[in-house]
């Protein structure tokens, strides 16, 4: 049975520029209520040598990964078995590397695309030329801790929206870019993946990201469903609903406060749930932070995708708390 499980998809150990071991990282992840992590050290996979033992010891799933770290941008590769060389990737030949990852069954994601670059962070600002966004599997729209208040993340979220409006079905994730296990007081976001737990969890996670079965939150988990009279079943994040134009459909948005319960803190309140799509914000609904469901109806006239955006107060700031990936309509 599939369920929503929380992951951190961008981490580092002392095999690159992190300040903790993989074991320390996994224990810290477990202490934050995370089910799994992706190890994405800069330009190396040597930190994965003890992956199986540490995963069995800590109970934390560990996805194999690597962060290509270049002068022209950082790209995270997940689900690969063998090192994919990045050194011949000029600004105009990124797709050669992407195809090599895809040949292994892996996926690629743009990391922190609008973070300040050199000399503060070499290559952190995205400058690669992407000739075909269909080949990019996901976009890291939230980076760092308390990601919704980071200015560069607002640009990344807007860029993802532009790509959706242009017809690209690219998943959105968060990535803490986790380098140290030192205690922090700021909210931490998790990327929730709709997966079946078990021995094939890495493959399940890769396919969930590839297929848009993704939600992101610093608090309760938002889940969206689209139910249309002619389809006979609900469509969730990542699904494509074939619907007759101008059909009136029901949209259900559930707020699950049990997700990572005890590992986030926010006052009891009524949350704003924005139903957004390619035509803008369609409606704003209200759901208690303790959990619940909002139901509305929408006429699918010119709508190609819908997502839920969760707003409320956390750490004393009114901000976006989480969001779903889109349900697509054609």
Render pLDDT for 260-275 as a digit per residue (tens, 0 to 9).
999 999 999 999 999 9
Residues whose CB is less than 8 angstroms from the CB of residue 70 and which lie 6 or more positions away in sequence, other chains included: 86, 89, 123, 128
Same domain, 188 and 305: no
Same domain, 174 and 264: no
Q: Give per-residue burial for 7-20: e unless 16+ CB within 10 Å, then b.
A: bbbbbbbebbebeb
Q: Which of 196, 216, 236 is the last residue of a domain?
A: 216
- Kindly report the number of other CB atoms within 10 A of residue 166's CB atom: 10
Q: Which of 216, 234, 269 is the last residue of a domain?
A: 216
Same domain, 206 and 302: no
CATH assignment at residue 195: 3.20.20.140
Same domain, 207 and 224: no
Residue 76's domain comprises: 3-216
Same domain, 147 and 168: yes
Q: Which of 216, 241, 258 is the last residue of a domain?
A: 216
Same domain, 196 and 73: yes
Whole-number pLDDT of residue 118? 66
Whole-number pLDDT of residue 88? 81
Which H or E run contains 10?
Answer: strand 3-11
Say how many domains are in the chain.
2
Q: Which residue has the tokens 């290509």?
A: 68
Whole-number pLDDT of residue 316? 98
Please give the structure tokens belonging to residue 229: 């009279």
Judge residue 285's burial from the number of C-beta atoms within 10 Å of its C-beta, 0-12 exposed, 13-18 middle, 19 or more buried: middle
Same domain, 128 and 211: yes
pLDDT one-digit tens code per residue, 104-126: 999 999 999 999 876 778 889 99
Which H or E run contains 180?
Answer: none
Give mean pLDDT, residues 87-108.
Answer: 92
Same domain, 212 and 223: no
Same domain, 203 and 317: no
Same domain, 186 and 262: no
Least confidently predicted of 86-95, 173-182, 244-253, 277-286: 86-95
Same domain, 92 and 64: yes
């Amino acid at each position: 049975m599939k369920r929503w499980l929380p992951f951190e998809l961008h981490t580092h150990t002392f095999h690159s520029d992190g300040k903790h071991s993989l074991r320390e990282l996994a224990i810290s992840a477990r202490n934050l209520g995370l089910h799994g992590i992706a190890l994405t050290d800069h330009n190396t996979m040597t930190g994965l040598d003890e992956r199986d033992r540490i995963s069995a010891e800590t109970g934390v799933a560990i996805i194999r990964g690597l962060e290509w770290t270049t002068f022209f941008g950082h790209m995270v590769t997940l689900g690969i078995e063998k090192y994919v060389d990045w050194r011949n990737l000029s600004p105009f030949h990124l797709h050669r590397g992407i195809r090599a990852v895809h040949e292994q069954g892996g996926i690629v994601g743009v990391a922190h695309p609008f973070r300040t670059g050199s000399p503060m962070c070499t290559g952190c600002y995205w400058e690669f030329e992407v000739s075909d966004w269909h080949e990019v599997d996901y976009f890291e729209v939230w980076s760092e801790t308390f990601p919704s208040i980071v200015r560069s993340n607002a640009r990344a979220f807007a860029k993802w929206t532009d790509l959706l409006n242009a017809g690209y079905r690219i998943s959105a994730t968060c990535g803490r870019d986790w380098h140290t296990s030192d205690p922090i007081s700021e909210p931490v976001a998790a990327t929730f993946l709709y997966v079946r737990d078990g021995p094939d969890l890495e493959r399940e996670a890769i396919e969930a990201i590839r297929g848009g079965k993704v939600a992101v939150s610093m608090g309760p988990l938002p889940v969206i469903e689209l139910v249309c009279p002619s389809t006979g079943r609900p469509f969730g994040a990542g699904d494509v609903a074939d619907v007759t134009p101008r059909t009136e459909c029901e949209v259900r948005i559930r707020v699950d406060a049990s997700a990572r319960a005890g590992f986030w803190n926010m006052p009891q309140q009524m949350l704003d749930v924005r139903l957004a799509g390619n035509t803008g914000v369609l409606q704003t609904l209200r759901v208690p932070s303790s959990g619940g469901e909002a139901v509305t109806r929408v006429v699918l006239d010119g709508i190609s995708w819908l997502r839920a955006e969760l707003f409320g107060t956390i750490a004393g700031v009114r901000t976006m708390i989480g969001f779903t990936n889109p349900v697509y309509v054609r």
